[in-house]
Structure 1
Amino acid sequence: MLQFFKPSSLHNYTDLGLLILRIGVPLLLLTHGYDKFLTFLEGASDFPDPLHVGARLSHALAVLGEVIAPVLVMLGLLTRVAAGIEIIHFLVVAFLMHAHEPLSEKEHALLYLLPYATIFLAGAGRYSVDRLIAK
Structure 2
Amino acid sequence: MQSAPAARNHDDLGKLILRVVLALLLLFHGLSKIGGGVGFIEGMLQKAGLPAIFAYGVYVGEVLAPLLLLVGLFTRAAAAVVAVNMVVALLLVHTGEFFSLSDTGGWALELQGMYLGSAIALVFLGAGRFSLGGLKGRWN
Cα displacement string for residues 69-91 of structure 1 (whole angstroms, at most 9, x for unaligned residues) = 11111111111110000111111
CA drift at 1:7: 4.0
Aligned twin of 2:80: 84
- Look up the SS of the partner of 1:129 in the other structure: coil
For residue 125 of structure 1, the aligned residue among 99, 120, 128 is: 128
Q: Distance in 1 between matches of 2:96 and 2:123?
A: 28
Match of 2:112 in 1: 109
Q: How much has 1:56 moved relative to structure 2? A: 3.9
Query: So what's the TM-score if we normalise by structure 2?
Result: 0.78
- Aligned-pair Cα RMSD in Å: 2.3
SS of 1:77's partner is coil
Q: TM-score, normalised by structure 1?
A: 0.81
Of residues 7, 12, 23 in structure 1, which corresponds to 2:9?
A: 12
Q: Which runs of 5+ in 2 are unaligned?
A: 101-106
- 1:127 corresponds to which letter in structure 2? F
Whether contact under 8 Å (1:77, 1:128) holds in the other structure is yes
Given that 1:45 and 1:56 are in contact with CA atoms closer than 8 Å, whether structure 2 keeps it comes out as no
Contact 1:26 1:74 in 2 (8 A): yes
- Give the share of equivalent positions with the same residue, in percent: 31
Greater displacement, 21-30 / 103-112 = 103-112
Change (3 A) 1:113 1:46: closer
> Whose helix fraction is larger, Structure 1's or Structure 2's?
1
